[in-house]
Amino acid sequence: MFFAYPVKDRLKGKVCVITGAASGIGRACAIRYAAEGARVVAADISVKGGEATVAAIKASGGEAIFQHTDVCEPAQLDALLTRAIDAYGYVNVWHNNAFKSVFKTIIDQTLEEFDETMRVSLRAYWYGAKIAVTHMLSHNGGVILNTASVQSYFGEPGFSAYQCAKGAILSLTRSLGVDHAPGVRAVALAPGFIHTPAHDGIPPETIERVKQSIPASRGAAPEEVAALAAFLASDEADYITATGVIIDGGYLAM
């Protein structure tokens, strides 16, 4: 069982935008950012899920708004940034988190499935970072967080397009951190096995095989990733940039 201990006011005064905020890691991060004092702009293609995230934040005394966003559409990402600025004046943290994929080998995957994975899970990260960095450089800097994966670092059978996207996200993060320091930091979160709805499409035998390979002998809760994300978004992590931070229960050490 994971016990959350938000650091009061660690993110006070910050405005955090997060995509894919309707469930899983995205919802947990949005709630944690607000619990640590940030004002949150939660974005997702799911209105019901996104509004539920905002409702959870407000029920705990936090401040948040929801913006319906299809990250495949650059104009909607532009609108997301505009909404955040109109509501709160600026953006300090932009967390690219939305993703979509099918879990197949390259033989079984269609070109259309690959293209859709890249649009949601990579192209949207690139464009979101582009507009956020442009804004941040003229507003006292900020932080780009990108949700990557342990599969940014190694190969796992049956995840062809997913691994293409996650590997590229880590490279994008390094590029952003190098190009725009010291004004903007860029960090990739690299989770291992996390209990989220995203696993619904993974064959049960694959999930069991992965879990048996984790030294911690379990998967993690989304709230554990959120605890790391809140630290990385904070000023306490000022010397961490152009890199990925792994949270995997020891999986990559095996």
Does residue 91 contact residue 144 with C-beta atoms inside 8 Å? no
Residue 125: active-site member = no
Tokens linked to 25: 């890691």
Does residue 97 contact residue 29 with C-beta atoms inside 8 Å? yes
Mention every residue, 6+ apart, whose C-beta is less than 8 A from residue 104.
Answer: 113, 158, 160, 161
Tokens linked to 63: 């401040």
Out of 33, 88, 125, 162, pick the active-site residue: 162
Compute the distance between CA of residue 146 and CA of residue 159 in angstroms, rounded to an integer.
19
Compute the distance between CA of residue 186 and CA of residue 179 in angstroms, rounded to an integer.
10
Check the CA dihedral 132-39-237-140 and report its sign: positive
3-state SS of 84-98? Answer: HHHHHCCCCEEEECC
Which strands, in side-by-side order, build the sheet including 39-44? 63-68, 39-44, 15-19, 93-96, 142-147, 184-191, 243-247
At 109 the three-state DSSP class reads coil
Q: What is the dihedral of CA 51, 54, 58, 59, to 10 degrees?
A: 70
Residue with tokens 């994975």: 117
Compute the distance between CA of residue 190 and CA of residue 176 in angstroms, rounded to an integer.
16
Which positions are catalytic? Answer: 162
